[in-house]
Amino acid sequence: MSSQENTSENSPHILVLGMGGTIAGLASRPEDKPLEYVAGQVEVGSLLAHIQSAVPEGIQLVSRQLANINSCNLTEALLTQLGEAVREALANALVTGVVLTHGTDTIEETGVFLQLTCGKYAENLGKRVILTGAMLPANAPKADGPSNLLDAIRWASTPIDDCPGGIYAVMDGRGCMAMDLSKRHGSALNAPIQASPSSSVGLINPSWLSGVKAVQALWTEDWPIPKEGEWPWVEILTSHAGARPETITHWLNSKVKGLVLAGTGMGSLHDAWRESLVAAVKHGIALVRTSRTGAGEAQANLPEKDIPGCLASGSLSAPRARIALQLALNAEKQAQTAGKSLTWQDFFARIAVLPVIR
């Protein structure tokens, strides 16, 4: 992990962590082909230098480069490093808020990861962690990164009404809980936020804010961050026309600890999978059922009875349910080591019932 820090770190500051992405990307022909670019090329310190004159007076910024990747290559080891860096930053009395620049491809996974491992901590400390990214590379004529980064810095640093500490995201002038951020369009500038319950960052909407508070009231305890190399192996499998049992049986003799099943509609699974799913449960593989539609909820025993042992994901999309299941399996292992008889289902149920912000 490389780090780059400026001289403000001994006074109150916003810590800006860089993970890469399109916000740090460069196109070779930005004028006419801005979408032909390489993500993760520009250091986060340079992104800040570019917007320095627009940063409100009195805000001190410190930057730290955690990685500079295309987030389609995000690893679990990097999530561990990021979670630890965020916790360390939150614990530092001189850090008043945290901004994270991240690729939008997997910002959905990172958003839910940080909520489940650091969300309560940030809320209790009254500090905001704001994730942001961009859909156009840094050197594109209409680059959206600078305004997103400025919005994130302003939101992390200013007391906007009574918006509590927590893990949020901002894109295209709108803010949401980071666990609600979902990229549901390949290229639109508002792609990561258009399907997410959000509010204008300049004028927080009271009904959105009350939704945030309802989620935070039920999220009472953060889960442990898995150590590098100790993330349980969980795969996502999609149900579709012509599904085959082999898609499931393939995993029975592997080291897979969990399967997230992205079903059709409300999370329906092809009958061709039924027997092999029962066998998977017998093999000790954790099963979570979600919807491949990208929106809506998968609820227990709807429309049909669940296979015993398979949990519905609530409003979690497949990528989010995968991270949540990994963290729940890890939490189960740690609880059992500590002599508590909590299961992954006990942990997972806590997130699957969080209210949906409308």
> Would you say 137 or 267 has its CB closer to ligand ASP?
137
> Would you say 38 or 353 has its CB closer to ligand ASP?
38
Closest contact distance (angstroms) between CB of 330 and ligand ASP is 25
Closest contact distance (angstroms) between CB of 22 and ligand ASP is 3
Written as six digits, the tokens of 283 are 């093999």
Closest contact distance (angstroms) between CB of 100 and ligand ASP is 12
Phi, psi (rounded to 5 degrees) for 89: -65, -45
Written as six digits, the tokens of 265 are 């509609």
Binding site for ligand ASP (CB under 6 A): 21-22, 39, 70-72, 103-105, 133, 135
Match 């250091």 to its residue by tokens. 43
Closest contact distance (angstroms) between CB of 104 and ligand ASP is 3
> Would you say 139 or 247 has its CB closer to ligand ASP?
139
Residue nearest to ligand ASP (CB): 103
Closest contact distance (angstroms) between CB of 157 and ligand ASP is 23
Q: Please give the Cα distance from 113 to 107 (Å, whole number).
A: 10
Interacting residues of 265 by C-beta distance below 8 A, sequence separation 6+: 291, 293, 303
> Would you say 143 or 269 has its CB closer to ligand ASP?
143
> What number of other Cβ atoms are within 10 A of residue 75's Cβ?
12
Written as six digits, the tokens of 308 are 């015993």
> Would you say 186 or 303 has its CB closer to ligand ASP?
186
> Would you say 25 or 45 has its CB closer to ligand ASP?
25
Report yes or no: 136 and 148 within 8 Å, Cβ to Cβ. Answer: no
Report yes or no: 79 and 138 within 8 Å, Cβ to Cβ. Answer: no
Closest contact distance (angstroms) between CB of 39 and ligand ASP is 4
Written as six digits, the tokens of 97 are 């808020």
Nearest to 193 by CA among 246, 143, 139, 148: 148
